[in-house]
Amino acid sequence: MAFDEMGPEHEAPRRLYAKVARWLEQSPPELLTSRRAQAEFMFRRIGITFGVYGDKEAAERLIPFDIVPRLLSRKEWTKLEAGLIQRVTALNLFLKDVYGARAILKENIVPEDLILRNPYYRPEMIGHRAPHDVWVHIGGIDIVRVDEDDFYVLEDNARTPSGVSYMLENREVTMRLMPDLFAQHRVAPVDDYPDQLLATLASVAPHAEVINPSIVVLTPGPFNSAYYEHSFLADKLGVELVEGRDLFVDNDVVFMRTTLGPKRVDVIYRRVDDEFLDPMVFNPTSVLGVPGLVGAYLAGNVTIANAIGTGVADDKAIYSYLPDLIKFYLGEEPKLKNIQTYRCREPADLSYVLDRLDQLVVKEVNGSGGYGMLVGPHATQAQRDMFAAKLKADPANYIAQPTLSLSTCPASFETGISPRHVDLRPYVLSGAKGVTVVPGGLTRVALTMGSLVVNSSQGGGTKDTWVVDDPLDDEEA
């Protein structure tokens, strides 16, 4: 039975959720219905949608928002925060190493071909340092919980992690709809995330003498599924939202076209994948990037966040080595656990997985968004047979993991309050002055009863995440 974070049904709630449980009990169904309708209206008015590629009937969707907040105590968060900082620090050192000295390969800790043949490994970066040795400026580390004490890292997102706009808007909507419940808790703020992000980006400008570096957000354009977030962040940061055609490179320096003439750009927060950044280096047919951008980057005249080549750290096979990377680079034991991972590229693991497809979750090593995945216990025999054929044809493209019993949180529906599985994506910022973590992050919720798939593209929703003082601490104070 899954661990419910508020507490088992028909039993007293955990102390942390006592006020939430009381509020839900005292709120008549029509009030909760009204709050759900108001939340949907607010999100529609804001325009906070995302695109679904290949879905002609609903190209723009509203991510469902559940009004019942998820709570984490400060003690729980302190534990998570320390593990997240440790993990992202190791990821930055790993990326510096694989494009530099390659000590991790020389020591045979990670197989060489797993790096050098990875489609996201960028040979253009070999021998080049990222400004200030920061590669993953914005990290999204997906966390799942299985019981009272244990949190596991599900995966690392080191390229262009999304969702932070929903974290911020969720808090805004929650405070408007449930001010009474919010006021009963001391909730750590998230609204300073844009200021922290801006300070992080400014700190990694390539030239330290620049007092007010020019920063832009580079978007693929309004047809991208996350365009709302791109425009939202540019607005919150107070910087320009640009497309590739708005920038040009002259003598290895990046400039932005403005009505007052060219303006030099120091830092680019890009939401464009490596492949499309520069048609002179990567995809020659790309119209989303900037010709000459990679040359300017390698010349040390502009910072790109996240750095070119970080995708190799997103690989789910690399994920399985993270505990080893932490020990190698930091000389420490991991503070956050990895899920047991079977590398199908290894014959013994492949044989184990093929014999237990009805028990395991199988994922593509470079998959995302819940696509290219088999949840064995919930799959049909035909689906398992199809995946068995895929595994045999290309075993290196897959990993497998046990089906964890993800924790649940109460969610509000027309039929009443019932538990749904959740995960958590905290956002970790790395700059020249250190690593910080926004307290909370984005809780994603599988709105279908029993489902473990929380991705918005697969029908998942979101919740506001509160990091609050533990009730025992309140009493002692």
Q: Checking phi first, is residue 102 left (phi over 0); if not, alpha (psi -120 to 50) or beta? A: left
- Which of 401, 428, 447 is the last residue before a domain boundary? 401
| 191: in domain | yes
What are the structure tokens assigned to 445, written together? 């919720």
Cα separations (Å) of 41 from 37, 164, 214?
6, 20, 36
Residue spans of beta strands (DSSP E) within 47-161 = 49-51, 60-62, 65-73, 138-145, 151-157
155 with 401: CB under 8 angstroms? no
Question: Could you identify the residue written with the tokens 């984490």?
Answer: 72
Q: What is the mean pLDDT of residues 92-104?
A: 97
User: Of 171-180, 359-368, 468-477, which gets the smallest average pLDDT?
Assistant: 468-477
Residue 1 has pLDDT above 90, yes or no: no
| 259: in domain | no
Q: Which amino acid makes up residue 140?
A: G
Residue 306 has pLDDT above 90, yes or no: yes
| 267: in domain | no
Mind listing the pLDDT tens digit for each residue in 148-160?
Answer: 999 999 999 999 8
Same domain, 113 and 50: yes
- Which of 356, 375, 401 is the last residue before a domain boundary? 401
Dist CA 158 CA 216 (whole Å): 19
| 296: in domain | no
Same domain, 408 and 397: no
Same domain, 85 and 147: yes
Across the chain, mean pLDDT equals 91
| Phi, psi (degrees; rounded to nearest 5) at 464 | -75, 140
| 161: in domain | yes
Q: In which band, very low, low, confident or very high, does the pLDDT at 61 lie, cut at 50, 70 and 90?
A: low
- The number of CA neighbours under 13 Å toward the Cβ of 227 is 15
User: Of 3-12, 47-56, 280-289, 395-404, which gets the smallest average pLDDT?
Assistant: 47-56
Same domain, 378 and 465: no
Cα separations (Å) of 157 from 139, 330, 424?
6, 20, 12
Cα separations (Å) of 455 from 224, 302, 317, 431, 443?
17, 33, 20, 28, 11
Same domain, 200 and 346: no
More confident residue, 53 or 404: 404
Would you list the DSSP string of 387-446?
HHHHHHH-GGGEEEEE-----EEEEEETTEEEEEEEEEE-EEEEETTEEEE-SS-EEEE-
Residues whose CB falls within 8 Å of the CB of residue 183, separated by 6 or more in sequence, listed in order: none
Same domain, 50 and 125: yes
Question: Could you identify the residue written with the tokens 């529906």?
Answer: 413
Q: What is the mean pLDDT of residues 48-57?
A: 53
Q: Which amino acid makes up residue 190?
A: V
Q: In which band, very low, low, confident or very high, does the pLDDT at 57 lie, cut at 50, 70 and 90?
A: very low
Same domain, 370 and 323: no
Same domain, 64 and 155: yes
pLDDT of residue 220: 96
- Full residue range of the structural domain in which residue 123 is found: 15-206+302-339+404-476
Question: Could you identify the residue written with the tokens 């709570």?
Answer: 71
CATH number of the domain bearing residue 355 = 3.30.1490.270
Burial readout 198-222 (b: 16 or more C-beta within 10 A, e: otherwise)? bebbbbbbbeeeeeebbbbbbbbee
Q: What is the mean pLDDT of residues 324-333?
A: 98
| 212: in domain | no
Same domain, 128 and 146: yes
User: Of 41-50, 89-98, 117-126, 173-182, which gets the smallest average pLDDT?
Assistant: 41-50
pTM of the model: 0.92
pLDDT of residue 49: 62
Q: What is the mean pLDDT of residues 456-474?
A: 81
Mind listing the pLDDT tens digit for each residue in 213-264?
Answer: 999 999 999 988 889 899 999 999 999 999 999 999 999 999 999 999 999 9
Domain count, the chain: 2
Same domain, 357 and 471: no
Same domain, 393 and 439: no
| 322: in domain | yes
Same domain, 200 and 322: yes
- Which of 383, 401, 419 is the last residue before a domain boundary? 401
| 21: in domain | yes
Mind listing the pLDDT tens digit for each residue in 404-460?
Answer: 889 999 999 999 999 999 999 999 999 999 999 999 999 999 988 888 778 766 668
